[in-house]
Amino acid sequence: MAAPAAPAPTGSAAARAVRNVVFVDGVRTPFGKAGPKGMYAETRADDLVVKVIRELLRRHPELPADRVDEVAIAATTQIGDQGLTIGRTASLLAGLPRSVPGYAIDRMCAGAMTAVTTTASGIAFGAYDIAIAGGVEHMGRHPMGEGVDPNPRFLSDRLVDESALVMGQTAENLHDRFPHLTKERADAFAAASQAKYDAAVKAGKIGPEFVPVATRSAEQGWGLATTDEPPRPGTTVEGLAELKTPFRPHGRVTAGNAAGLNDGATGCILAEEETAKELGLPIGMRMVGYAFAGVDPEVMGVGPVPATEKALSRAGLKIDDIGLFEINEAFAVQVLAFLDHFGIADDDPRVNQWGGAIATGHPLASSGVRLMTQLSRQFAERPDVRYGITTMCIGIGMGGTVIWENPHWNGGEK
């Protein structure tokens, strides 16, 4: 979908056209379990990002390092080894030229997504030709909310419900608001996510995007992370039904129908389309548009609905135009709310066909680029599909959606 030309500005400035932005390639570390027993317990967060940046450049020797115009890396908890303007520090540690700038960004779970949309906007405007965008979260070292001091007015002035600051409670609130989204449906969706992920791994669909990471343990010595740690193959609905509901007595949200606490990093190369062609870079997807939207913080899981409606409206598309969906599975109930709103079946094959975060994990700010990387690889296999979306809910009451076009589209022929 060609980008529209921008209106000519007034005054002496030259008219400027909006340029097409493409997703070249994405990689990620295997995702680990957070905590002292997780595989990254003694690995620094910034080192995970360094591995990702180096892998992107290793896979694409046709990209001179000095052609990278910006590095944007997201982290939800910007402290310790996730602090100090991690986009800049990680780029230096990765060996990029000192002339390449970088910065850090935070939009909680949609950090990497926002790193992509922000740098893509710069590319479309003409400020950059090529950027690296991604995210990292080491929830074992830095639990969400570490070091924060929420303003007491949020509660004293009743600006938000107390539950808005606890993501699991917001998921319980979503069950309350939509009682037809039962625990049984959530458990069935979660079990299906685990099964789809397991099948995708066995079929070689998940794995090629991994960058192996050397790990160290004072007790066990050196290791090599090559696979995701969180998945639970063989998960059954019956097993999920027995799990505790930690956010509410007799609740509906469990560790089995929600993403866990995880560590990991992601990254991708974005480029102006003609620049990508000039350098011989592959074109995995073309960005069509994006949108972010706010919702009541106490039901933040519904955020992808208005974000998607806004993005579709601005792109002149309808939900029926979308052939593939990558929806972040922070909680099963928030995916179900999205599907119900748009009249999509729980088991629609267009949705998360390789499983989702309930299986693979959700290292907060990194997850947006995982969604994009998977969609890009799915596009390569599905030339009959023209459009896909990546969408996710965001803490404190938001949602984000990016619409992508498949450059391999063949006009709809099967």
Residue positions annotated with a catalytic role: 109, 362, 393
Print burial letters for 191-219: b (CB count within 10 Å at least 16), e (below 16). bbbbbbbbebbeeebbeebbbebebeeee
Query: How many other CB atoms are found less than 10 A from the CB of residue 285?
Result: 30
Q: How many helices (H) and strands (E) does the chain have?
A: 12, 12
Query: How many other CB atoms are found less than 10 A from the CB of residue 280?
Result: 10
In sequence order, what DSSP letters do the residues of 193-212 get, joined into one string?
HHHHHHHHHHTTSSSTTB--
How far apart are the C-alpha atoms of 237 and 226, rounded to whole Å?
28
How far, in whole angstroms, is CA 306 from its chain's centroid? 18
Query: How many other CB atoms are found less than 10 A from the CB of residue 156?
Result: 8
- Contact partners, residue 329, CB within 8 Å, separation at least 6: 193, 259, 335, 352, 356, 357, 358, 362
Query: How many other CB atoms are found less than 10 A from the CB of residue 4?
Result: 9
How far apart are the C-alpha atoms of 219 and 237, rounded to whole Å?
36
- Cα Rg of the chain (Å, integer): 20
Cα–Cα nearest to 381, from 285, 290, 239, 303: 285
- DSSP type of residue 127: S
Identity of residue 10: T
How far apart are the C-alpha atoms of 255 and 267, rounded to whole Å?
27
How far apart are the C-alpha atoms of 52 and 334, rounded to whole Å?
29
Q: Of all residues in the chain, what percent are helix, strand and coil, respectively (each to 5)? A: 35, 20, 45
